[in-house]
Structure formats: C-alpha cells, structure tokens
Structure 1
Amino acid sequence: MHERGWWERFRRSEDAAGLALISPTLIVGLALLAAPLGLMVIYSFLTDSSVPASVEWVFTLENYRAIFAERLYTAILERSLYVSVLVTAVTVLLAFPVAYYVSFHVAPNRKSLWLFLITIPFWTSYLIRVFLWKVILGYNGVVNSGLKTLGLIDDPLSFLLYNVNSIVITLAHAYAPFAILPIFVALEKIDRSLLEAGQDLGESRLMTFWRVTLPLAMPGVVAAVLIVLIPTVGDYVTPEVIGGGKIPMIANLIQNRMLGLDNRPLGAALAVVAMAAVGLLSLAFVLANRRFLKKNAR
C-alpha cells in the first residue's frame, strides 16, 4: 500500500508531468543518437572479417593497438585537432568584435536586420559554400585573376589552395554565424549599468571590458568555441574539396578505412578515439575558462 501511495503521488506530481512531456523527445534522441553511438563503440572492439561488408563478433583490442602503433593515424588525428583549434581561434576572435558591435553600437531597431544579414550564409548549402571558396582561391580564381588584373603578379599564386590555410579560411567562414550568435546573446544579457559603474569607479574602457564585459560574455564564448571546435574536427567535405584530398583529416581517414578498405571495426575505433580526444580538449577548455573566471572575480 505504501509503494502504491508513492506511485500515485509521483504520477500526479509536476515531475511526472514534465517527464511525460519530454519522453517522446528523449526516446527519439536515444534512438537516433545514443543507439548509433553505442553500436559504433561496440564495432570498435570487433574483428574485421574477410567477407566484404561484414565483421566477426570476436572482441579484441587490436583496433586500438593499431591506431596508437601506426604513426599515420596519430599524425592525422593531431592535424585534425590542430586545424580545429586554429579554426576555432580564428572564428571566435573574428566573431567577438562583430557580436560586440551589433550588441553595443547598433540601434535596437536595427539589430534584427544585422542578425538577418549574418545568417545569409545559411541560405545556401554548405557544399556550395565550400566550392565557392575553391573558385575564389583557385589557380584561375577570383583572387589570382584580381591580382593579375591589377598587375601585382605575373603568374597565378599556387599556394592559395590545397593547404591547411585554405581549409582554415573556408571552415572559419562556414562556422562564423555559429560563433557570432551565441556571443551576441551573451552580450545582450549584460546589464549596461555594470559597465557604467566600472567606469565610475575609475576603470578604463579596456579594464572594464577585461574585468566586466568579457567574464559576463564567457558563457557565449564557451558555447561558440564548443559549437565550432567539435564539428570541425570531423569535417569531411572541406579537406576533400579545398585540400584536394592531399591533406586528409580524421573524417577522411575514417571514410577510407570503413568504405575504401572495408575495415569497419578500425574505422569505428578511429571515430571513438577522435571523439575521446575532442571530449578531453573541450573539457580542458571549460576547466581553463572556470579558472579564468575565478581569477578575474578576485
């Protein structure tokens, strides 16, 4: 009777109503996200089969041993992390001034227009934007043609495309709106009277920004960093198109091992290692941000 009474109280409580409300979304999320992720982790411990498009259900750690024993795999993972960190740094550093300007210097009735303009890149497919950068940076592209027309160069510059710099430029442009919008939201929540109080106490504009504005905007900065960092590590299209296949990243390697060599367990293990590396990198950034905020609050 006691257990039945507890169940009745729970069934009529707000917690039960909230759980019932999110249950469909939770079930769909588990089915579409958690289940494939769990299956991939399981696949990473299986053995590759000689039969095409199949695996042997024999659990082993050989896939992970192969990843850390072969320098090729760790080198490509290091390059992917390096490119992702570089893209994130460039994107956030360029996005912050834009978000700051829109939040603090644009009239309230024009902010919606600015946000609308910022989201224009989303009007076209990501693949189309990548190909456009190939046209811009190509041997006979817009940049080379413009420089030749101005008489600044005689022969097209060959170093604009098919290198890490071109990949960083393309990814930074593609993910810029993802960085601008969360930073803008965080800046909009800042009470302007706090900035006035800082200056009234004798702080310069720079110190007020460093001690007041930036710490209060850090939730948006953290969101922007994570939104850009995590997907760019696993980007497949940009290294393939802008890099010309000459600068593979971890996603290209996973595709090659899973489809090209038909070694699904090794491809799954590479994906798990990449996710673990990104998770540790993200955690390190979050902890460093907490340390910065604590130090700044003293």
Structure 2
Amino acid sequence: MNTGRLSKEARQGLITVSPALTYALILLAAPLLTIILFSFWTQNFLTIDRTFTTANYAEALSDPLYRALMLRSLRIASFVTAATVILAFPIAYFISFHVRPDKKALWLFLITIPFWTSYLIRIFLWRVILAYDGPVNGTLLGLGIIEEPLSFILYNANSVIITLAHAFAPFAILPIFVSLEKIDRSLLEAARDLGEATAMTFFRVTLPLAMPGVLAAILIVFIPTVGDYVTPRLVGGSGGTMIANMIYVQIFDLSNRPMGATLAVLAMLTVTITLAWFILHIRFWVHLSDRVGGGVAGLALAALAALVDIAIVRWVFVHGPDWFGPAGSLGVLAAIMGGGAILIAIFLPKGRWGI
C-alpha cells in the first residue's frame, strides 16, 4: 500500500517537473549537442560536409593563434576573478559583521544598483571613463601625477579586466555574504576567549567557514568571463581579443560554423578541466599550509606552491607543442593536470576548509 502511494507521489512529482525538464532539454541540451555534432563536420564553401572527421580539432589544437587566444582568455578571466573576489570579500565581510541587521537589506539593495542599467551601457561608460581624453586621464593630468595620457588602460587586456571586474562584482559579493552570514558567531567568541588574535581568528575560523561562498564566487565569475564577447569587442582592441571573439569570427565572418563549434567545445572543456584542477589544488595548497602550522609561513608556502603549479601548466600549454608536438603536449598537460588532480582527490580528504 505504501509502495503504491509512493509511486503515485513519484508520478505527481514527475508531472510537476516535466515542463521545466523539457524546457531545459530543448533550450540547453539540444543546442549543446548540436554544437558538439557540428564540431565533427567541415565547411565546404556554403554547405556543410557531414562526414565525421576530427580535422577541426587537429587544426584548433595545433594552431598557435587559437592556443594564444585560449591562454589569454584564461589569463584575463583569472585576473578578473582574483580582483573581483579579493575586492568583494571585504565588502561582504563589512556588511555581514559591521552593519546592523535592519540595514543589511539596504546595503544589498545598493549593491544591485548596477543591474538597473544595461550591461552594454556600462561597457560604453567604461569606454568613456578609460578613454585617452576621459575622466581618468584628465584627473591625473590635472593633478600633475602624469605628464601625458595613459595609453595602457584602454583597448587592451587591462581595460577588459577593469570592465569585467566591475560588471561581475555583485555576483561575487552576494555568495560570500551568504556564506559569512551562516557562520556561528559563538565560534569567533570562543577563539578570542582562547587567546587567538583577531587576524589569526579570521584566517583559522572565519575564512575556512566562508570558503564555500568564496568558491561559489570564483565559479560564478570565472566561467562567464572566459566566454565573454561584448567587453573584449568594445574595449579590448587587438590586445584584448578573447576566444569568444574568434568563435564569432569563425561562425559569422568566415562562415565556418564547424570550426566555431570546435572552438566552443574546446573552450568548455578547457574551463571545466581548469576549474577542477584549481579547486583540487586549493585542497593541496591548504594541506601544505596546515602542515607548517598555518599563519604567515603557511600562506607563504601555499602561495609558492600555487605559483610553481601554475607556472608548470602555463609552460606546457605555451611551449609544449614545440617540445612534444601538439598531440604530445596535450598528453603531458593531461597527465600533469588530470593525474595530479586525481591523486589529490584520492589521497587528500577534505580538510577544515571544506574543500
């Protein structure tokens, strides 16, 4: 009798979620499968040759231009994510710990004000602000800080980083704030009662408990910035072109939809592998920090390990084809990133940071 009742509830639940599930499959899964399918075809002038081939992937992985654009996209997205999260954390911390409870809603409301205007309008505003004769250069010239306008803040990667960091700041503040709000304040009081300094209480209690929000902010910012198209197009110039701009060129300017689809698939795979590698290596870096007792020495060791790991991966990505060939460099890169991540996942359990 209970089984029948459960089956009826299951059917009702399936009926309830089926419209949303069907909607997601049609608008998300179907286009994704179409892109993957297109990547194995080739463009034959104005027609699509549907013969299965991996030639597009071979060309995309061996062409230094595509590799350079993908590396630049990862680098810009990394800088944007780091700047956004580092600047967002103090704001979220201030609202959570130093603003009266009845005023927190007002502060969160003010944070969402940038969303009241179009994303495109905000990009154009930054284009005006960072212009050769814009407010930034005008103010610095007026104060006598510089003798001629700065040329490195517009139409390059720097302008893309500044614009994207401003655009995605609320996306980083909100998840960090939610994570900080969940922290039991009695834990902080216990740490202070035991004689822990304010700074060490933050690093040993507050930051580890807030790490889920920090990771959520990293994911929310990093994933869309890698594939951003509008900002590099309007303020990036030739030095700020990213992989999404090349995908647009392949599909619309060169009418090579299979190659554009191939670059899109490779971009998605690259982002997935990079994030998995990064999150698991955070666990390894935190483990190293804890082995030496944390504190300044632990942070220094973790930072050194992070720099070494990132430098190795970057060297293989950039110089690997010259040493190992296109296919060999991918094998070496997969062994380093995938193998290391698997070993960390197997032998290092989640620590006190929840990673």
Q: TM-score, normalised by structure 2?
A: 0.78
Alpha-carbon distance in 1 for matches of 2:175, 2:238: 33
Alpha-carbon distance in 2 for matches of 1:132, 1:109: 33
1:62-81 alignment, distance < 5 Å? 62-81=55-74
1:35 aligns with one of 24, 30, 36: 30
Letter in 2 for 1:158: S
State the Cα RMSD in Å. Answer: 1.9
Please state whether the residue corresponding to 2:236 is helix, strand or coil.
coil
Matching residue of 1:121:
114
1:147 Cα deviation (Å)? 2.0
Question: Contact 1:211–1:296 (CA<8 Å) still a contact in 2?
Answer: no
Question: Contact 2:156–2:238 (CA<8 Å) still a contact in 1?
Answer: no
Find out whether 1:103 has 2:103 as its counterpart.
no
Letter in 2 for 1:42: L
1:206 aligns with one of 193, 199, 203: 199
Find out whether 1:25 has 2:20 as its counterpart.
yes
1:278 Cα deviation (Å)? 0.3
Aligned length: 291
Instruction: Show structure 1 runs of 5+ residues with no match.
Output: none
1:18 Cα deviation (Å)? 2.9
1:17 Cα deviation (Å)? 3.2
- Percent identical pairs in the alignment equals 57
Find out whether 1:267 has 2:260 as its counterpart.
yes
**More deviation in 171-180 or 243-252?**
243-252
Find out whether 1:153 has 2:146 as its counterpart.
yes
Matching residue of 1:12:
8
Letter in 1 for 2:41: L
* Deviation by residue 1:212-271 (Cα, 9 ceiling, x = unmatched): 111111111111000000000000111111112443100000000111111100000000
Alpha-carbon distance in 1 for matches of 2:353, 2:52: 50
Alpha-carbon distance in 2 for matches of 1:131, 1:271: 26
Letter in 2 for 1:284: W
Distance 1:120 1:284, change over 3 A: same
1:235-250 alignment, distance < 5 Å? 235-250=228-243
Letter in 1 for 2:249: N
Between the two structures, name the one with larger relative contact order (CA 8 Å, sep ≥ 6).
1
**More deviation in 66-75 or 150-159?**
150-159
Question: Contact 1:49–1:56 (CA<8 Å) still a contact in 2?
Answer: yes
* Deviation by residue 1:179-208 (Cα, 9 ceiling, x = unmatched): 000000010011101111111122211221
Instruction: Show structure 2 runs of 5+ residues with no match.
Output: 288-349
Question: Contact 1:240–1:252 (CA<8 Å) still a contact in 2?
Answer: yes
Q: TM-score, normalised by structure 1?
A: 0.92
1:164 Cα deviation (Å)? 1.3
Alpha-carbon distance in 1 for matches of 2:270, 2:121: 30
